Amino acid sequence: MIGFSLGAYYALDLAAAHPEHIRSVVLFYGTGPADFSRSKAAYLGHFAENDEFEPPSNVNELEESLRSAGRPVTFYHYSGTGHWFFEPDRVQAYHQAAASLAWDRTLAFLKMPPPSGEG
């Protein structure tokens, strides 16, 4: 599952609520609280350096919550970017180099096998 901005919140919620269906979650500049204790997913996150909607404290809190639940998690932070850096239709925010790198990382992540013993 891939979620962008507010969609990332829904992706997190679904992975926590329906662990039997969600094995991989990719987040683009979005966070949200949930109880990840039942989650079976691996998590990849792409976050902007300067994001007016997602302060670093939200990202750090989410990463810690996922790690505490024993979930595999890798978060990347992209220098010189803001919210919507991946979206070319957001001309003032789009950052081509960061978007390309984030997409390459996403494809590699999605090609990985599910976490050990869970799939």
Q: Is residue 99 part of a domain?
A: yes
Instruction: Report DSSP state, residue 88.
Output: T
Cα–Cα distance, 79 to 53 (Å, whole number): 16
How far is the first Cα of the chain from the last one, in angstroms, to the nearest whole number? 16
Q: Is residue 119 part of a domain?
A: no
Q: Is residue 118 part of a domain?
A: no
Determine contact, residues 8/28, Cβ cutoff 8 Å. Answer: yes
Structure-block tokens of residue 113: 């096998």
The reported pTM is 0.93
Q: What is the pLDDT along the chain (119 residues), one digit of tens a residue?
A: 999 999 999 999 999 999 999 999 999 999 999 999 999 999 999 999 999 999 999 999 999 999 999 999 999 999 999 999 999 999 999 999 999 999 999 999 999 886 665 54
Q: Is residue 43 part of a domain?
A: yes
Domain hosting residue 36, numbered range = 2-111
- In total, how many domains does the chain have? 1
Q: For residue 98, what is the enclosing H or E element?
A: helix 96-111
Instruction: Report DSSP state, residue 71.
Output: -
Q: Is residue 6 part of a domain?
A: yes
Q: Where residue 15 sits, what CATH number does that domain have?
A: 3.40.50.1820
